Amino acid sequence: MDEKRERRFYQKLETLEDRLTFIGENFPEIDELIGNRVLRKALYKEFQELTEALGDLSAMMVKEDGILVKDDYTNLERLKTLLEPDVIKNLKRANGLRNVLVHEYNGINDLLAFESVQEVLPSFRVFGSMVREWLKKR
């Protein structure tokens, strides 16, 4: 992998880790989330950017392995030798939630979004660690 490409990987990984840290440090209680539109929108935006970094990193890894890049869900499936099935399942759920938050399909159920974000965050941490290990081997 050339130096420019490696730098790009680390930039995306830094974005992923930054968004994870921000969400972890600022994750409100459900009542506060529902009652504070600014906080809710900030959390949703950070989650959107976190999930976009996931999609970018997945696609970059697939491409680096010489495989045709496809949609986010397929790219995650192609990482199945590096991640446990439950982690892949949660990351796919996160991508679906990101789509709901961005496009507001049928409105947003804030309680469901709140619970879903809590449930999938640990899988992002696993993913970030896996990417770091993967990069060390390159």
**pTM summary value:** 0.93
CATH code of the domain containing 110: 1.20.120.580
For 81-109, what is each residue's pLDDT tens digit? 999 999 999 999 999 999 999 888 778 89
The per-residue pLDDT for range 13-70, each reduced to its tens digit, is 999 999 999 999 999 999 999 999 999 999 999 999 999 999 999 999 999 999 999 9
Task: Enumerate residues 6+ apart whose C-beta is below 8 A from 133.
Answer: none
For residues 111 and 30, the answer to whether their CB atoms sit within 8 Å is: yes
Helical H segments across the chain, by residue range: 3-26, 30-35, 37-64, 72-77, 85-103, 110-136
Number of domain units in the chain: 1
Q: Which domain holds residue 15?
A: 3-136
Residue corresponding to tokens 């999930």: 51
